[in-house]
Structure 1
Amino acid sequence: MNYKDIEEFLSNLKSVMSCKIIDDNKGSIQEIHILADSSRNVKQICRDIQSVLISRYQIDVDYKKISIAQVNDSFAFNGDYRLKINSLHLENKPNTVTVKVVLQFDEALYEATESGLKTDRNLMRLSSRATLKAVEKALGFDDCLLLEDIESKIFANKEMVNCAVNFMYGGKEIVLCGNSFVEHSKSEAAVKATLCAINRRVAKHSSVN
């Protein structure tokens, strides 16, 4: 079944900015990923989605299949959803390196890799880009996060990694900034700086009840 029309209709609901439906081989809905603003409670958004699906499309979907990523319009920290580093692995070759980042939220793991030339600055970029890919997998959306810039510098006599990330949603572009002191490696600090930017801005609510 083609769910394109349903995705477009749900994207026009109040507070909803975009929608992605994932089905199985039989065409049954397995997951509904929603990107929404913070103007309404996630339970209200979830009920609206269920009501539209049953009344307009005669599709009854369990609320547990609805995952809502909510963009916080203020920069206040939201502790409901924090992705954490599960593991970071580097596969070195003479001139190139592959970075594998695994993020964790509760028991769920989200993995992504990036490969490129093995330079000091590019290693930070690869680590950050792999992190953003993993974050997109966690949110259930593609091509909404882009690394704008990343650098290391000395701050308070310690080395720090700063990054800027472009977050695209609802036709809007928001620049998110994060930083992390280098404790073990610049690669690890790049991942932490990227998560610092994302975790302050995006809250995800799964299995709303």
Structure 2
Amino acid sequence: MDPAKTPWFTKAETEIGALRDVESVRVQGDGDAIREIHVLTRSSRAPKQIVRDVQAVIHARFNRSIDYRVVSVAYLNNATKSEAGDGNGVLSTAPDSPAPPEPTRPPVVRVDVPSASAHATGPRVVEAPPREPERHPAADERIRFGGVNLFVSGARTQAQVELVWRGLPRLGTASGWSTRTGAHRLVAQATLVAVQEFLADELALGLVDVEFLRLGRKRGVVVSLSMLVERQEKLLVGTCVIEQDLHQAVVFATLGALNRLVAGMRPKEPTEYVLRPTSVE
């Protein structure tokens, strides 16, 4: 342990290092204040998602707030890991991404065009206008999973769920007591909060229950929601087979109950803030 570090810096490195996809972390500060946090990862997640995880764990564990600009994220290149002499891989500023496809030339179509000249014979070659790329609007109609984290502080637990819809990320949180089954309900409630952040109109939604069942050799999760429509209660149910991450399956089951409903809702317009200097009289 670096003797120049304060005890809470060392604890912060331990907590950040336990986050998903974090390979290594280094916290540097001045006195008791954090000045830099350096994170190494092999994840394909966006840097801002990892930075939000770091901010959340610092706030939940140590009741401190940090500026996102003090966190730097470096990606370890998995493809060159076996070629590195020290076995640590090669540092890169972003994950490897496939090369963009080469643009294709528009098709050439032979069209018989009457010539104004009496000496011109044979058809002329006319290039067809370029085709517009095919659009798949349904691909953006479903809300996508971004991440899920649980932060336990004593007898309290906070669930944090990140979702992405139409290119916009939103974060939902829910807090409660650290009971055995309470964590699953908090994840479902945080998912509802994140979904509501996408919508212009408020939904009268409530969580009914989160249940688990056996499906042959696998387990599944069933999330039931209650929605109030014109003074009538409607039951929404979503299911998901648990493959690896239990909490991720709870998020998918909750979204499964809402995706068809959300596709027909009016999305909230993103707000842009413009800062201008105030005039001094």
Q: Which range, TM-score by smaller chain?
A: 0.5 to 0.7
1:124 to 162, 181, 184: 184
After superposing the two structures, state which structure 1 stretch, 187-196 or 78-87, moved more: 78-87
2:224 to 148, 157, 164: 164
Q: 2: CA distance between counterparts of 1:202 and 1:167?
A: 13
What amino acid sits opposite 2:196 in the alignment?
E
Cα distance between partner residues in 2 of 1:141 and 1:205 = 7
For residue 214 of structure 2, what is the aligned residue in structure 1? 154
1:112 match: 172
Any idea what SS the aligned residue of 1:153 has?
strand
Q: Which residue of 2 aligns with 1:95?
A: 155
Report the AA paired with residue 98 of structure 1. Q
- From the two aligned structures, give the one with the greater strand fraction: 1
Q: Shift in Å at residue 132 of structure 1?
A: 0.8
Distance 2:175 2:206 in 1: 16
- Cα RMSD, aligned residues only: 2.2
Aligned residue for 1:193, secondary structure, equals helix
Structure 1 segments unaligned to the other structure (5+ residues): 1-77
Taking the aligned partners of 2:182 and 2:258, their CA distance within structure 1 comes to: 21
Q: 1:189 to 1:107 in 2, by over 3 A?
A: same
Q: Calculate the TM-score normalised by the size of structure 1.
A: 0.56
**CA distance, structure 2, for counterparts of residue 153 and residue 96 of structure 1:** 27
Deviation, structure 1 residue 80: 6.0
User: Does the alignment pair 1:82 with 2:142?
Assistant: yes
Counterpart among 220, 234, 245 of residue 185 in structure 1 = 245
Whole-Å separation in 1 of the counterparts to 2:196 and 2:176: 20
Moved over 3 A (4+): 204-207
What is residue 29 of structure 1 aligned with on the other side?
A: none
For 2:197, give the aligned amino acid: K
1:165 match: secondary structure: strand
Which residue of 174, 190, 197 maps to 2:234?
174
Number of equivalenced pairs: 130
Q: Which letter maps to 1:96?
A: R
Measured against aligned partners, the alpha-carbon deviations of 1:40-66 in whole angstroms (never above 9, x if no partner) come to xxxxxxxxxxxxxxxxxxxxxxxxxxx
1:194 is aligned to: 254
Instruction: Describe the shift of the 1:177–1:151 C-alpha distance in structure 2 as closer, same or farther (beyond 3 A).
Output: same
1:131 is paired with a residue whose SS is helix
Contact 1:136 1:145 in 2 (8 A): no
- Give the deviation of 1:147 after TM superposition: 0.6
Task: Give the gaps of 5 or more residues in structure 2.
Answer: 1-137, 269-281
Check conservation: 2:140, 2:166, Cα contact below 8 A. no
Tell me, yes or no, if the aligned pair for 1:127 and 1:191 is still in contact at 8 Å.
yes
Q: In terms of Rg, which structure is larger?
A: 2
Q: What fraction of aligned residue pairs are identical, expressed as a percent?
A: 28
Deviation at 1:206, TM superposition (A): 4.9
Partner Cα separation in structure 1 for residue 246 and residue 162 of structure 2:
17
User: Match of 2:209, SS?
Assistant: strand
TM-score normalised per structure 2: 0.42
